[in-house]
Amino acid sequence: MAWSNNLFYIAFLSQIFLMSYYFPNKLLARMRYILATYPPEMYPKLYPWPIEHYKLAHLAFKYITRFIMLLGLLILFAVMFWVDHSTFADDGFISEAWPAAYGMIQFLPLMAVEFSEFSHFKQMRKANSATKRTAEFRRRDFTDLVSPGLIGMALLLFAGAILFDLYVHDFAVTWGHDTIQRALVMSVTNGLLVIVGAWNLYGRKLDPHQSAGDRIQRISVNLKSLLYVSMALSVFIAITAADDMYSLDFIDAVIMSVYFQGIALLSLGYTLNSIKPDEIDFDVYRNDAAIT
């Protein structure tokens, strides 16, 4: 179907722009804004490494994401002119493997930024020479930071997706059946999300200087983001089951592309919009700041 392929081209072009241009640019602009607004001369505790290290990292991130964007455009042209209606998919339509594989590549530099934070905070802890520290002893509960309604919605969607998948396939519970495999994928993925959420909630304080208020906000945003990702997975599984019911194989690639964009919006997009630099207490990174 030509219209379904044209729909994929639009979705995939949106995926290229959103995940390899818009979000990287927004993230890079934020990093440069912090560097310019809160320089190491005034906020030395924020920069455990020389300033050249951060400038080089920003430059590397920019060019890597630009390369991935160009790679996406090449893939798009390749699909349009050489792969369309070929044997890359058994049903003759564009395979969902294209947006899935490219989406994983797009997430790599974003994940690298996330992991670099761990090294950054570790270096900050090493450079932290404070001998007196205070801690917040108030016990944090999951429902204190995330509304019970949001938790209930995530659980409802999780159960609903599995039940709908079972219903579509006449409640087939044979080992190796697609329904059972998808249920296992959902269970394992949500289990990992729970572990990450618990680590965020009860794990050690990574940034030794971060204020209590900023830390609570960051934890709350992270927990909500994890719940949104869980809900997106449930919706994706339900749509996949509906695909089997209504034979929607011709839009599999579109669904996969939209799913990756949804994950990016609900994770990175939500975090960037919820935590703004101007609302962060940067005074804790001055030389004369109290350690919290």
What is the tens place of the pLDDT at every residue in 221-245?
Answer: 999 999 999 999 999 999 999 988 8
All structural domains of the chain with their residue ranges = 2-285
**Per-residue pLDDT at 204:** 86
Residue identified by tokens 């869980």 is 230
Q: How confident is the model at residue 89 (pLDDT cuts 50, 70, 90)?
A: very low
Are the C-beta atoms of 264 and 18 separated by less than 8 Å?
Answer: yes
**Dihedral sign for Cα atoms in the order 142, 143, 147, 150:** positive
Q: What tens digit of pLDDT does each residue of 151-178 get?
A: 999 999 999 999 999 999 888 777 777 8
The arithmetic mean of pLDDT across residues 43-66, rounded, is 95
Torsion-angle region of 146 (φ positive above 0: left; ψ -120 to 50: alpha; else: beta): beta
Q: What tens digit of pLDDT does each residue of 245-266 get?
A: 887 778 899 999 999 999 999 9
**Dihedral sign for Cα atoms in the order 221, 226, 232, 234:** negative
**Per-residue pLDDT at 129:** 65
Question: Taking the complete model, does pTM exceed 0.75, yes or no?
Answer: yes
Mean pLDDT of the chain: 89
Q: What is the dihedral of CA 215, 220, 224, 226, to 10 degrees?
A: 40
**Per-residue pLDDT at 288:** 63
More confidently predicted of 30 and 290 = 30
One-letter amino acid of 236: F
